Amino acid sequence: MVRRIFTECLFDTHSDEVKENGSVLCTSSLTRGKAYDFLAKLCSTSIQNKKSLLEQELVPLCKKLPMVNGWAYKPAYDKRSTLGYAGIYNLQCICYMNAMLQQFYMTPAFRYGILAADDYNEPDYVEKDGR
């Protein structure tokens, strides 16, 4: 049962490369979630099922995964719509970095440390309204 759920419902292990929802039965997030839950239940009640899942399914599947050659690996980067459009390039973390910098800036010790840093340039103060 473990092998059948894994190979027929969740992963297409018959092809040479791993495909997301290639020719599997469970394609929606709801049905895939239920299949994962059922697989977890089968493995939680039997050490033999766990061993079978690990040795006969997961290890061979991991061997089919592509090798990652850089830190900026984006598995979905090569995927395109049927029309060939790729969309806007998303740096994926800019909003989080901005939020963190805003939070750090509101911490007085951090803010004063940044403002007191010496950049080895003459100050270029601009007087405005007497300030």
* pTM for the full predicted model: 0.47
82 token code pair = 């049927």
69 token code pair = 């050659």
26 token code pair = 């469970």
Compute CA 79 distance to the chain's CA centroid, rounded to the nearest angstrom. 15
Task: Name the amino acid, one letter, at 109.
Answer: A
65 neighbors 18 (Cβ within 8 angstroms): yes
How many residues would you count in the chain? 131
Dist. CA 16–CA 87, nearest whole Å: 29
Tokens 């006969």 appear where?
Answer: 56
Alpha helices in 5-123 (DSSP H): 29-44, 47-52, 59-64, 94-105, 108-115
SS3 88: coil
pLDDT at 81: 55
pLDDT at 75: 59
Dist. CA 60–CA 8, nearest whole Å: 15
pLDDT at 40: 92
Each residue's pLDDT tens digit in the chain (131 positions)?
A: 888 888 888 887 766 554 454 578 888 889 999 999 999 999 998 999 999 888 888 888 888 777 767 666 665 655 555 555 555 555 677 777 778 888 888 898 888 888 888 888 887 777 877 77
Domain range annotation of the chain? 2-64
pLDDT at 38: 93
